[in-house]
Amino acid sequence: MADKYHDTVAKSSVTVDDSAVAAETAKILEIAGDKHNTPDILKFLFSCVELTSLRSTDSQQSISALVDKVNLFESEHGDLPNVAAICVYPNFAQTVRAVLEVSEVEIACVAGGFPSSQTFPEIKVAETALAVASGADEIDTVINLGDFLDDDWESVTDELGEIKNSCRDHALKVILETGALQTATRVRAAAILSLYSGADFIKTSTGKGYPGATPEAVYVMCKCIKEYFGATGRMAGIKVAGGVSTVADALRYYAVVSAVLGEKWLTPEYFRIGSSNLANELYKTITGKTENFF
């Protein structure tokens, strides 16, 4: 199919050979070994975590309790960095805003028909606007996989552009759902379309219904971010989510991001990990305590 969307993706030099991607990723992880397993890097990884609660049983009471723990962490562990953000459904943005006392912690909301992206475009735009108006600093939305897989890339980018406009000056994270895309070819295309549609971050997964993040997918996404930066001068972030629950997992993704994107991206402004379980595991490793904090 010949159009500007397919032409833009076709011009990319990011490799889409799955075996080559696997080999390059394995090489990065082998070289990294355990060298990143240091107290400073573990603290940094903690500062990149987005505490996430996206359950059908979420309520104002349960979300308030989660936010209270973030406030308590600030008072009890002022020597440690706090988490980067709290990620909730959009109807809880106002709750988080009312309870949160730590100004450095961002409020992230899923919006736009999460997790399937299967609803009217007008609802996606309206839900995003409502989340922002209710106090969200950041919006996580899922790319329209149906249109993407049907090669209707114009609809994909038009919709993402409208959602980005609805975010106003707030950050938009576009979830590629890499477990559904499966191949490097599709991950590269979805990443490039999202970036050129205005995504401030590209994110691996929803953690709902499909396999989560993999180092290989993150490698391709980082390569796309680096290429996009070279072409536009605009830095976009990477968010890893879906099945990232151990310190070893986090260190693997740190190794990939560090190797491909470099030190400039090693800040919570451009690197995030969505996982409440990881926050507890990092906390226990850093402090030597055995109980969960969050």
Spatial distance between the Cα atoms of 106 and 70, rounded to a whole number of angstroms? 11
Global pTM reads 0.96
- Confirm whether 203 is a catalytic residue: yes
Residue among 200, 203, 223, 249 flagged as catalytic? 203
- Tell me the C-alpha distance between 12 and 187, whole Å: 12
Q: Which residue in the list 124, 164, 223, 239 is annotated as catalytic?
A: 239
Q: How many residues are given for the chain? A: 294
Which pLDDT score is estimated for 276?
Answer: 84
Q: What is the pLDDT of residue 1?
A: 67
Confidence at residue 78, expressed as pLDDT on a 0 to 100 scale: 86
Phi-psi label, residue 33: left if phi above 0, alpha if psi -120 to 50, beta otherwise = left
The residue among 130, 149, 90 whose CA lies nearest residue 114 is: 90
Q: Tens digit of pLDDT for each residue in 27-72?
A: 999 999 999 999 999 999 999 999 999 999 999 999 999 999 999 9
Around 151, how many Cα atoms within 13 Å sit in the side-chain half-sphere? 7
* pLDDT the model gives residue 93: 98
DSSP, residue by residue, the chain: --SHHHHHHHT--S---HHHHHHHHHHHHHHHTTTT-SHHHHHHHHHTEEEE---TT--HHHHHHHHHHHHHHHHH-TTS---SEEEE-GGGHHHHHHH---TTSEEEEE-SSTTTT-S-HHHHHHHHHHHHHTT-SEEEEE--HHHHHTT-HHHHHHHHHHHHHHHTTSEEEEE--HHHH-SHHHHHHHHHHHHHTT-SEEE---SSSS----HHHHHHHHHHHHHHHHHH----EEEEESS--SHHHHHHHHHHHHHHT-GGG-STTTEEEE-HHHHHHHHHHHH---S---
Q: Whose CA is closest to 128, among 160, 175, 95?
A: 160
Which residue stretches of the chain have pLDDT < 70? 1
140 catalytic? Reply is: yes
The catalytic residue among 124, 137, 140, 173 is 140
pLDDT of residue 2: 76
Residue type, 111: A
Task: Identify whether the C-beta of residue 105 lies closer than 8 Å to the C-beta of residue 85.
Answer: yes
